[in-house]
Amino acid sequence: MGWKILALGLLVAWTVCAQAADTRSFEFDGRARSYIVFRPPNLARSHAVPLVVMLHGGFGSGSQAEEAYKWDEEADRQGFVVVYPDGIRRSWNAGGNCCGKAHRDDVDDVGFLTKLIETVVHTENIDAKRVYLTGMSNGAAMSYRYGCEGSFPIAAIGAVSGSLSYPCAGAHAVSVMEIHGLDDTRIPFAGGHGNGAASDVAWLGVEKTLDLFRKADACGTLATEESGVVRKAVSRCAQGREVALITVKGAGHQWPGSNKARGLVTWLLRLDPPSTALDATPVLWRFFAAHAAD
């Protein structure tokens, strides 16, 4: 346990370096829940704009995600708001045995995300039909759980290095993109138990997770294309929805194109280096921008 405590301490030191634009909180289910809102300085409030909700991975935080995954820069370029919520003790209750303190305390993160989205839609003049959910690892798994159980109509989900951590009874009809390294040993592409902190989780295979959404979306045939180590497979679905999978050969458990974790944090948490084969954030934004909720 000593190395985990030291790693968490280093993560705290790392995350305080991130310059959060606006930290807020509200009480939900007896807990104070915090989140960061980034609104580009020049983004007018006179018209409704899209919202991206970015869920950090296990041992991460909202401020760490803000620094690592470069969504602020994309929001500046494209004109949308980003929210970075904090999980309980750096974890999300994504279902099954996943993950950490949030799972052990049976935290209602589905309900929390619904209240968070509804709050930000009201305070930031958000287009309610253009709300998008993205996440890394444990955050990606939480995104999928919300796609099964959440009550707010998300327009699209963009998951990186994730999969479902429990058998979803009925996925909602929503566009989905998953980006996954084929050498991921934390959440294996084929499913089953990975290594690391969530080794007790029996992950559903990535294709099986996406098949649940393909069925809900009434998808048609699959079109594929390859460029170097990157392969993209897209299913066109009813009402303009899509389910897309991007795989990266040679990539592990990481967010392609992200800022690399600093110093000892990488070694202590055994983080895989980010792939440079693509930049996941603008890829996800282009996918999001093509979709709106009914």
For residue 199, the 8-state DSSP code is T
For 73, list phi and psi in degrees, rounded to 5: -65, -40
Exposure string over 160-196, b if 16+ CB within 10 A, otherwise e: bbbbbbbebeebbbbbbbbbbbbbbebbbbebeebeb
3-state SS, one letter per residue, for 121-147: HHHCCEEEEEEEEEEECHHHHHHHHHH
Q: Does residue 178 have a pLDDT over 50? A: yes
Mean pLDDT taken over the chain: 92
Q: If you average pLDDT over residues 143-150, what whole number do you get? A: 98
Query: What tokens were used for 72?
Result: 């602020």
Q: Are 25 and 34 in contact (CB under 8 A)?
A: yes
| CATH class in words for 2-289 | alpha beta
Over the stretch 52-88, which tens digit does the pLDDT of each residue have? Answer: 999 999 999 999 999 999 999 999 999 999 999 999 9
The whole-number pLDDT of residue 260 equals 82
Q: If you average pLDDT over residues 227-250, what whole number do you get? A: 98
- At residue 164, the 3 state secondary structure works out as coil
- At residue 29, the 3 state secondary structure works out as coil
**29: nearest Cα among 105, 104, 94:** 105
Which stretch of DSSP H or E encloses residue 100?
helix 100-104
Which stretch of DSSP H or E encloses residue 25?
strand 23-28
Banded pLDDT at 198 (limits 50, 70, 90): confident
Burial class (CB in 10 A: 0-12, 13-18, 19+), 270: middle
- At residue 2, the 3 state secondary structure works out as helix
The whole-number pLDDT of residue 197 equals 85
Over the stretch 10-55, which tens digit does the pLDDT of each residue have? Answer: 444 444 444 446 999 999 999 999 999 999 999 999 999 999 999 9
For residue 108, the 8-state DSSP code is -
Q: Does residue 165 have a pLDDT over 60? A: yes
Q: If you average pLDDT over residues 235-249, what whole number do you get? A: 98
Q: Does residue 291 have a pLDDT over 90? A: yes
Q: Does residue 8 have a pLDDT over 70? A: no
**201: nearest Cα among 190, 191, 212, 193:** 193
